Amino acid sequence: MAKRVTDKQKSVLKFIADYVEGNGYAPAIRDVAEAFDCSVKGAYDHVVALEKKGLIERAKNRSRSILLATKGKQVLQIEEPQRVPILGRIAAGVLSYADHHVEDFVSLPLESMAEDGAQLFALRIQGDSMVGAGIKENDIAIFREQQDANTGDIVAAIVEDEATVKFFFRQSGRIVLKAANPLYPDMYFSNELRVLGKLKSLIRLYN
């Protein structure tokens, strides 16, 4: 059971997706049959096969109840707008996606922002330490979760039990965090720095 997905099955899957897209509701099995100019049972077999392979979900004896399962969307490469949590206080440097730490959600405004399944999180910028890089207080910064970084990256890191956003540099064996504001001194670390992620995008609201 559940071998590979055949070309025919893929095209049936695509028909279903297109039908839903176009009509707002799923096709009846007879609609599939008509589209592929085959018998009702032929279409039925395809639908059952797709169901068995987990590409679609369906309710028994219910008309037009086909849903594209996550797996089916993957096959067709349909991407949904990803929702990224805006984290509030980050206690003791642990990234937690638990409800009580999530302030709100942003959905990614551009499809190009979604990455190969990388974990993303967002922080609200506090203070003016990065104004020189065009990052202002209350901006929403979206990070890709990662424990390391390259020189020149803008990162979120834990400094004194607080999340902070700074430029990341490696200088002669040490790590340096630099603000983009001359009023803030550079901070030096000898490797025990807890990096949370790397800045991927920024969202600002006016008014």
Partner DNA sequence: AATTATACTTAACAGAAGTGGAGAAAGTCA
Partner DNA sequence: TGACTTTCTCCACTTCTGTTAAGTATAATT
Q: Which residues bind its own copies (CB under 8 A)?
A: 23-26, 28, 57, 59, 62-67, 81, 104, 106-110, 112-113, 131, 134-136, 139-140, 154, 198-207
- Interface positions, 45-104, toward DNA (CB under 7 A): 45-46, 49, 58, 60-65
Does residue 178 belong to the site contacting DNA (CB under 7 A)?
A: no
Q: Which does 135 bind (CB under 5 to 8 A by kind): its own copies, DNA, none?
A: its own copies
Active site residue: 129, 178, 198, 201, which one?
A: 129
- Strand 120-124 with 83-87, pairing: parallel
**Is 10 annotated in the active site?**
no
Measured in whole angstroms, the distance separating CA 87 from the mean position of its chain's CA atoms is 15
Across the beta sheet with 83-87, the strand order is 102-107, 83-87, 120-124, 140-145
Provide the β-strand partners of residue 177.
168, 187
Place of tokens 């987990």: 54
Dmax over CA atoms of the chain, in Å, equals: 75
Contact 145, 196 (CB under 8 A): yes
> How many Å is the Cα radius of gyration of the chain?
24
Q: Which does 131 bind (CB under 5 to 8 A by kind): DNA, its own copies, none?
A: its own copies
Residue type, 109: P
Q: Which does 42 bind (CB under 5 to 8 A by kind): its own copies, DNA, none?
A: DNA
**Is 129 annotated in the active site?**
yes
| CB 152 to its own copies: min, Å | 11
Q: Helix (H, G, I), strand (E, B), or coil: what is residue 113?
A: helix
Size of the residue set binding DNA (CB under 7 A):
30
Summarize as ranges the residues that interact with DNA (CB under 7 A).
Answer: 1, 3-4, 6-9, 28-31, 33, 36-42, 44-46, 49, 58, 60-65
Catalytic residues: 129, 166
